[in-house]
Amino acid sequence: MTDAVVRFAPSPTGYLHLGSARTGLYNYIYARQHGGTLILRIEDTDPSRSTDEAIAQILSSLKEMGIDWDEGPGVPGPHGPYRQTERADIYREYVDRLLASGHLYPCFCTAEELEAERQAAQAEKRNWVYSGKCRRLGADEVERRRAAGEPRTLRFKVPPGKTVFDDMIREPVEVDNDLIGDFIVQRSDGTIVYNLAVVVDDVTMDVTHVIRGDDHISNTPKQILIYEALGAPVPKFLHMPLLFGTDRKKLSKRHGATKLEQLTAQGLLVEVVRSYLCFLSTEFDESMITWTLEDLTRDFDVERLSPSPSIFDPDKLRWMNGRFIRQMGDEKLGERLVAYLTRVGFYGDPAAVEKAAAEGPQALAAAVESAETAHQPATAPTAEQAKLTKVVAPLVREKVDVLADFIPMAGFFFRPLAFTDEARQRLAGTDGAAATLARAAAGLRAVEPWSVESIEALVRGLPARLELKPKAVFAALRLGMSGQSVTPGLFESLWALGRDEAAARLEQAATLAG
RNA sequence: GCCCCCAUCGUCUAGCGGCCUAGGACACCGGCCUUUCAAGCCGGCAGCACGGAUUCGAAUUCCGUUGGGGGCACCA
């Protein structure tokens, strides 16, 4: 099959929600896998809730994930335009067609009347469907009320019977048409209602496969009825499970992150988020963590998605990210760290960002987000900072899950030595700290060559010489070098600091300990 | 209230009538390794929502129930 046409149709009422991102991804994968076409359509029929800024944001999120489209904003094609607000003429034409074929009828019921009907149904604990009152209006009465200028909507005549449709990952769904009730397709102000707009769009865009969230399942019968009224072929449907938080509620801000940018601000890598989103609701093994977009389009089968809800598990994402980082090359990791640290403002004020990061990646991401919405430019690293980051990168690879973990772990490389009260106490409580620090500093000043190996030899010889336990020596040096008790490897860290800096720090700490 | 979807460890899942005293992964717990913290390796805890039915045999099929979710708009 080479003629699959799929579409991704976000509504630009805000940023791209992770759930939508996933829908976009699956559409992309499906299109690429089947040599088909991906159309990006903007569902902005509600202009009051849609903004150009939101559109721009959504496009940029998609691009960040590597998703591109064959037709849509910025990519003209035979099925344009791609914003619903620009398609009013097309809708009008189809409304006329349906009107002419007798599938639509005018309804003069007011919102108040309908509300009253609804209330009555509610009171009797009946399911409410529109009574079809106006469907039975005589032609002359319709003409009279129309001439009198009464506002009217257009309703779709739902035929009797059942509507059945298949789903690529679910059991077939069957709905009794009586339960649907004649629904409005055109508002009294002449604008078109969603269900009609989608179908007209999908029909005119030759869409063959509709991949969307399962919250659309209950709309589907209505839409199928419209396809049938239009005499258009019904596409295949795939309703994917919704993305939930750990409390089994739709993923929302309470769960921490709802958009890609928040995740990346925490130091998650886009490609890992992408894999996670894909493999959630499927079985995967570790080797798939590093799958590229190309791998996904070749080997990922959208149809093996499980239909049950997907719960977003931040722990698993972190773990995947850690695995990914561990297999990255030095250079790659260094580059990603530089880019990330730049974004979070680390190079402008390391100490401040370190402080923010101390509360965890989420808090840091929140700070980053507010800085970004305020359009504060990030400070680029100096050549020295960039170089240092790349030198330190390999030292932290085994110890970080997300890039943000770099900051509390290795921030000390980038600013003057500082001690918290706790660190001071710890240093004071370490046996022979002053002697260890002084001795090590002197040793470092003289050791040749300046290499990890010779530093290791020097340090390892210290416990015997000072008649101290190895643990005490290591603890004193670690603390003296960084002010922290958790750091990357000691020898490597001393080496990365450089001879003068390392020795100077230990000397400074020695006076403190003494 | 009505309609629809979903249902295996806390979470993501394997399983598609016998290979299941239900397998893997995250998380959690313990051990090993070790200069800290991790990583890595090894081990452990933990599940077929419930009740009927079909069958020689059911996690797997059918029917109920329960639970969770979604929808019932002149929202998308």
Q: Tell me: the pLDDT tens digits for A474-485? A: 999 999 999 999
Question: What would the mean pLDDT of A191-201 be, rounded to a whole number?
Answer: 94
Cα distance between residue A380 and residue A357, in whole Å: 19
SS3 state at A238: strand
Cα distance between residue A294 and residue A190, in whole Å: 45
pLDDT recorded at residue A61: 95
Which of A256, A260, A170 has its CA nearest to residue A213?
A170
Q: How long is the CA A239 to C1' B16 vector, in angstroms?
A: 21
Q: Is A259 among the catalytic positions? A: no
Quickly count: other Cβ atoms within 10 Å of residue A46's Cβ: 14
Angle formed at CA A367 by CA A363 and CA A370, multiple of 5 degrees? 140
Cα distance between residue A39 and residue A37, in whole Å: 6
Whether A1 shows a pLDDT value over 50: the answer reads no
Q: Are A200 and A90 in contact (CB under 8 A)?
A: yes
CATH architecture of A421-513: Orthogonal Bundle (1.10)
Q: How long is the CA A431 to C1' B22 vector, in angstroms?
A: 55
3-state SS of A127-140 is: CCCCCCHHHHCCHH
Sign of CA dihedral A499, A501, A504, A510: negative
Question: What would the mean pLDDT of A333-338 be, rounded to a whole number?
Answer: 97
CATH of domain A88-240: 3.40.50.620
Q: What are the Cα distances from residue A17, in Å, to A82, A258, A364?
A: 20, 6, 20
Nearest DNA or RNA nucleotide to A460 (CA to C1'): B35
Nearest DNA or RNA nucleotide to A492 (CA to C1'): B35
Whether A2 shows a pLDDT value over 60: the answer reads no
Q: Are A340 and A403 in contact (CB under 8 A)?
A: yes
Question: What would the mean pLDDT of A37-41 be, rounded to a whole number?
Answer: 97
Q: How long is the CA A273 to C1' B26 vector, in angstroms?
A: 15
Instruction: Give me the residue spans of the domains in chain A.
Output: 88-240, 329-411, 421-513
First to last CA, chain A: 78
Amino acid letter at A456? E
pTM value surpassing 0.90:
yes
For residues A490, A491, A496, A501, the Cα torsion angle rounded to the nearest 10 degrees is 80
Q: What is the pLDDT of residues A126-146, one digit of tens each?
A: 777 888 888 888 888 888 998
> What is the residue-wise DSSP string for A153-196?
EEEE-PPSSEEEEEETTEEEEEEEGGGT---EEE-TTSPBPHHH
pLDDT recorded at residue A47: 66
A377 CB-side CA count, 13 A: 3
Sheet strands (E) in A290-336: 310-311
* Residue A17: alpha-carbon gap to chain centroid: 6
- Which nucleotides of chain B have an atom under 7 angstroms from any protein CB? 1-8, 10-14, 23-27, 35-40, 68-76
Sign of CA dihedral A124, A125, A126, A128: positive
Nearest DNA or RNA nucleotide to A307 (CA to C1'): B6
Q: Are A248 and A220 in contact (CB under 8 A)?
A: no
For residues A435, A436, A438, A440, the Cα torsion angle rounded to the nearest 10 degrees is 150
A513 CB-side CA count, 13 A: 28
pLDDT band for position A329 (cuts 50, 70, 90): very high
Checking ipTM against 0.90, whether it exceeds it is yes
In whole numbers, what is the pLDDT of chain A averaged over residues? Answer: 92
- Position with higher pLDDT, A46 vs A441: A441
Report residue A231 as tokens.
Answer: 């005499």
| Residue with token string 């059991």 | A171
Whether A256 shows a pLDDT value over 80: the answer reads no
H helix or E strand, kind and range, residue A331 = helix A330-343
For residues A198, A59, A6, A168, the Cα torsion angle rounded to the nearest 10 degrees is -90
Q: What is the pLDDT of residues A109-129, one digit of tens each?
A: 888 888 887 877 777 767 778
pLDDT recorded at residue A116: 80
Report residue A101 as tokens.
Answer: 């074929």
Choose, from A63, A249, A253, A471, the residue flagged as catalytic: A253
Cα distance between residue A465 and residue A457, in whole Å: 13
Q: How long is the CA A274 to C1' B68 vector, in angstroms?
A: 27
Q: How long is the CA A319 to C1' B6 vector, in angstroms?
A: 27
Range of weakest confidence among A253-262, A430-439, A461-470: A253-262
Which of A501, A507, A499, A504 has its CA nearest to residue A446?
A499
Nearest DNA or RNA nucleotide to A181 (CA to C1'): B72
Cα distance between residue A129 and residue A184, in whole Å: 12
Cα distance between residue A448 and residue A445, in whole Å: 9
H helix or E strand, kind and range, residue A106 = strand A104-107
Amino acid letter at A95? V
The packing angle between helices A88-100 and A220-230, to 10°, is 70
Report the percentage of chain A scoring pLDDT > 90.
Answer: 74
The answer to whether the A88-240 and A421-513 domains have the same CATH topology is: no
pLDDT recorded at residue A22: 95
